[in-house]
Amino acid sequence: MSVENENVEEAETRLHTGDLAIAAYALAEVFNSFLVMYENEHYEEMTKDEMESTMEQIRKTFIKFNVLADLANREAENGS
């Protein structure tokens, strides 16, 4: 994926609920790929503890994005 800086002025710059949902989905996918590596005891260049810590941080960040997306959806529904 490439991003052209020339089109930034034309791009919508406000954060939308869909953006939060995409971010949460991407974090879930990253977590799942880490989980596969963890289950196969393939920690890349990390130790097992570092892998576990990273996975926990990804999980917490996913929860935050997911909550924000849910709140934004509720707010949009109440505003309609």
Ordered DSSP codes for the chain: ----GGGTTTS--S--HHHHHHHHHHHHHHHHHHHHHHHTT--TTS-HHHHHHHHHHHHHHHHHHHHHHHHHHHHHHHH-
pTM of the model: 0.74
Residue 5 belongs to a domain: no
Residue 7 belongs to a domain: no
Residue 47 belongs to a domain: yes
Mean pLDDT of 16-20: 87
Residue 2 belongs to a domain: no
Residue 65 belongs to a domain: yes
Residue 1 belongs to a domain: no
pLDDT (0 to 100) of residue 78:
86
pLDDT tens per residue across span 25-38: 999 999 999 999 99
62 pLDDT above the threshold of 60: yes
Binned at pLDDT 50, 70 and 90, residue 8 comes out as low
Residue with tokens 């990273």: 54
Domain range holding 31?
15-79
Q: How many domains, in total, are found in the chain?
A: 1
pLDDT (0 to 100) of residue 15:
82
Residue 73 belongs to a domain: yes
Residue 26 belongs to a domain: yes
